[in-house]
Amino acid sequence: MSRATHVATYVLVAFGLVSTGSGAENLLKNPSFESTRRDQPQSWTRSTWAGQPGFALDAAGRTGGCVKVTSAEGADGGWSQTAGPIPPFARLRLSGWVKTENVATTTGRGVQLNIHGLDRARTRALTGTNDWTKLEVEFEVMGQDSVQVNCLFGGWGLATGTAWFDDLALEVVEELKIESKTVPAALRIDPAQAGAPISKYIYGQFIEHLGRCIYGGIWAEMLEDRKFYHPVPADRDVWRTTNAGARVLAASPWKAAGPREALAMSSENPLSGKHSLRIALSETPTGICQEELGVVAGKGYEGRVVLRGDGFAGAIRVSLIWADGDAGRQTVTLGKPTRSFKAYPLKFKAGASTDEARLEIVATGRGTITIGAVSLMPADNIDGFRRDTLELLRQLGAPIYRWPGGNFVSGYDWRNGVGDRDRRPTLTNPAWTGLETNDVGMHEFVALCRLIGSEPLITVNTGFGDAYSAAAQVEYANGTPETPMGKWRTQNGARKPLGVTWWCVGNEMWGNWQLGYMRLEHYVLKHNWIEEMMRRTDPTIKTLASGNVGPWSEGLLRNCADHMDLIAEHFYCQTAPDLVSHVRLVPNAVRSKVEAHRRYRQSIPSLQGKDIQIAFTEWNYWYGPHVFGELGTRYFMKDALGIAAGLHEYFRHSDLSFMAHYAQTVNVIGCIKTTKTAAAFDATAYPLMLYRRQFGTIPLAVSGWNEKLDVSAALTEDKSHLTLGFVNATWDNYEVTLDLNGLTPQAPAAGWEIAHENPGAYNDPGRDPVIQLVPRPATDATGTIRLKPISITVFRVPLK
């Protein structure tokens, strides 16, 4: 929004003016690009939005080294850094020196500095040839803890030529404070206007094989590429950084421990995939190691090495190393290997806490050993799942989980995810980055659901998949032990059927990014074919079609209404410059989808007599840097407000909103975030948890609320309690009076609150939570109810 609007909306009071001279603190790290590593300026990443920009360091900067961007064909990209912490409410100045040579624009602005996502925070743009020129811009932030600075080439389009950047600065000009006032609100509850019961499935979750959602988040495996998909050792950088700042695996993380020439990839009877790792032995200790493991002092770790030997005579030692010297390691000596693959157990206890531990496998003697797989997990894992993450999932209390995708599923073969985990093939992720080890498959997913008291919902592949595979998957899950797939399931350790009721038929098949995408007129045939084969295999299943409001959903409803129980819809929201607008993004998206389906019920003849409700199988905010791996965005108090307001909107449309899956649960746009050794609720977890535990199921009409104070009311199933939900998306205190319209409280209301004065506040794993769900003192619902600014509050009022 414009500055004039900004000032009119909020009352800004300056704490004090900060000098921007030589004494001002520069919030950027390595602002002159002097500190480098592997031809990369430290603290800076390369961002590409379009075209193919060239990135390089240049020693001939304004005051030493600098960076440059060049393109002959046209590009939109630049050098980026996420800077922070910054004061939550402040006026900042971004400045820097830029030189250009033959810069021409086609659709872009030129060469400039900008703050990512803030349209008002960009300098003037340079084109042509310019000697070193200082560019600067001042801008305000409201409730942010960090900003992304871009040395931008192109900008909202393409440019050609060359640009150099040097001596950048991000400085606080002025800190600001928002003045809060007290606002009265009179609300009326109408028990006579009760909606359809709120489905428990509104509180569902979604996990996908993407980033650090499952591997590095839910699953306890500590090692990357544990079955040696990539050649060892790596011949290129092990890690690469995505445009959004995520660090993703690009080559083998295993390093040589001893002579590199002793290591070779062998395709002779590999344990899994195309090859295993062969090591030729000598009297020199020879082997491999993997670094960057997170361990905690006093904690146990267990695992295994699966290997075989040929002409072996000698010793094999496996060590967990957390510090230099003999006292900084623990070593296990393995028994003599056989000529066939055999698993040798490992057991360690860490002597110190570090994120830089390593596992080392070293042998001496003669002959060869071939390693097929290695595994290392915390000893307190529960059936392979991280104990800390599992405890948070249990607290979250979601009644249903959707898996395995997402875009991933359209290239996924479920058969790769069953059987001996060490023999399951490792493949590249078909839709995202990194590897898919197939360690977590159907058995593990259903086991996870049972561990946390949830139901499974499985998505079948209708992209590269077919009806035979989908029907076989249903039979594997639900068939008796006498069926072909039931026999295979029994061989894999589960005689009893897995009992999966809910099935998504494909994912986002309307999107041209989807593997196996096809036009609607063809896809409706494929959907009906696959769904019919699935239901023929098990008539008791319930299916969800892959919809998207507009011609796609309308086409499915016209042509496939007899082949679905629910229709799926997805939406993701970005961000908005002011708090109320940001919060309203989610409920507005819900309402837009629901209203479209109400129109379909009136206009599509095939829906007459049917009640095909909506399953919002992916919904969330999605914006910002990827802090927790691929798509690992951080969430803030303002996002928690939006999620709560979104729940309110689902409640208002409970007749059509049957199911919703917050996407995703862990790390990847997740409400839980993890490090190597810790896990914590992100801001958006708390409203999901609060409403799931405390809110009623019979929605009642409420009048008197508005976009600044979103209010929802519902009776519990037994009508013994009235529950009230409030989302205050302002810096104001509210004093609320209620007209309960005949409902009589029996006692003061219990209450719970999620609040923070900074809408940009967030939690980080391993640190004390900044945002929490806390109980409120007992409250008289017949008196004045006081609500804090920037808060979510739920009450349970006992009724006579």
Percentage of the chain surpassing pLDDT 90? 89
Q: Which residue segments constitute the domains of the chain, with CATH numbers given?
A: 3-178 (2.60.120.260), 182-195+705-798 (2.60.40.1180), 202-217+384-621+640-682 (3.20.20.80), 248-378 (2.60.120.260)
Average pLDDT score over residue span 749-760: 96
Residue pair 349/278 in contact (Cβ under 8 Å)? The answer is no
- Whole-angstrom distance, CA of residue 77 vs CA of residue 693: 46
Question: CA separation (Å) from 116 to 86, 135, 206?
Answer: 15, 16, 28
Identify the pLDDT of residue 19. Answer: 32
Measured between alpha carbons, how far apart are the two ends of the chain, in Å?
Answer: 49
Average pLDDT score over residue span 715-729: 98
**Per-residue exposure over 355-391, b if at least 16 CB sit within 10 Å of its own CB, e if not:** eebbbbbbbbbeebbbbbbbbbbbeebeebbbebbbe
Percentage of the chain surpassing pLDDT 70? 97
In sequence order, which residues have a C-beta less than 8 Å from that of residue 412 and are 6 or more positions away? 209, 404, 405, 430, 436, 461, 465
Identify the pLDDT of residue 240. Answer: 87
Helix residue spans in 297-441 (DSSP H): 387-396
Phi and psi, residue 569, nearest 5°: -135, 145
DSSP 640-688: HHHHHHHHHHHHHTTTTEEEEEEE-SBSTT-SEEE-SS-EEE-TTHHHH
- Residue showing tokens 């390369």: 46
Q: How confident is the model at residue 10 (pLDDT cuts 50, 70, 90)?
A: very low
Could you give the 3-state DSSP secondary structure of residue 9? Answer: helix
Residue pair 464/515 in contact (Cβ under 8 Å)? The answer is yes
pLDDT for 346-379, tens place per residue? Answer: 999 999 999 999 999 999 999 999 999 999 999 9
Strands (E), 231-298: 239-241, 247-249, 254-257, 263-266, 276-280, 286-295
Identify the pLDDT of residue 5. Answer: 28
Q: How many residues does the chain have?
A: 800
- Whole-angstrom distance, CA of residue 78 vs CA of residue 64: 20
Identify the pLDDT of residue 39. Answer: 83
Identify the pLDDT of residue 30. Answer: 96
Q: Give the count of beta carbons closer than 10 Å to the beta carbon of residue 288.
A: 24
CA Rg, the chain, in Å? 29
pLDDT for 437-485, tens place per residue? Answer: 999 999 999 999 999 999 999 999 999 999 999 999 999 999 999 999 9
Identify the pLDDT of residue 505. Answer: 99
Identify the pLDDT of residue 178. Answer: 82
Identify the pLDDT of residue 7. Answer: 28
More confident: 39 or 724: 724
- Whole-angstrom distance, CA of residue 458 vs CA of residue 207: 11
pLDDT for 226-284, tens place per residue? Answer: 999 999 999 998 998 887 778 999 999 999 999 999 999 999 999 999 999 999 999 99
Q: How confident is the model at residue 714 (pLDDT cuts 50, 70, 90)?
A: very high
DSSP 8-state symbol, 717: T
- Whole-angstrom distance, CA of residue 406 vs CA of residue 417: 16
Residue 421, pLDDT above cutoff 90: yes
Q: How confident is the model at residue 23 (pLDDT cuts 50, 70, 90)?
A: low
Dihedral over alpha carbons 108, 110, 115, 120 (to 10 degrees): -80
Triad 750, 755, 761: Cα angle to 5°: 155
Residue 179, pLDDT above cutoff 90: no
Identify the pLDDT of residue 689. Answer: 98
More confident: 240 or 402: 402
- Whole-angstrom distance, CA of residue 687 vs CA of residue 143: 19
Residue 52, pLDDT above cutoff 90: no
Could you give the 3-state DSSP secondary structure of residue 800? Answer: coil
Residue type, 536: R
pLDDT for 324-336, tens place per residue? Answer: 999 999 999 999 9
Q: Give the count of beta carbons closer than 10 Å to the beta carbon of residue 799.
A: 18
Residue type, 504: C
Strands (E), 201-285: 204-206, 239-241, 247-249, 254-257, 263-266, 276-280
Average pLDDT score over residue span 296-315: 96
Strands (E), 36-109: 36-37, 40-41, 45-51, 54-58, 66-83, 89-105
Average pLDDT score over residue span 587-611: 97
Average pLDDT score over residue span 736-741: 96
Question: CA separation (Å) from 533 to 468, 475, 529, 537, 538?
Answer: 7, 11, 6, 6, 9
Residue 12, pLDDT above cutoff 80: no
Distance, CA of 437 to chain centre: 19
DSSP 8-state symbol, 599: H
Average pLDDT, the chain: 94
Distance, CA of 131 to chain centre: 43
Average pLDDT score over residue span 402-426: 98
DSSP 8-state symbol, 426: P
Residue pair 702/712 in contact (Cβ under 8 Å)? The answer is yes
Identify the pLDDT of residue 21. Answer: 38
Q: How confident is the model at residue 667 (pLDDT cuts 50, 70, 90)?
A: very high
Identify the pLDDT of residue 793. Answer: 99
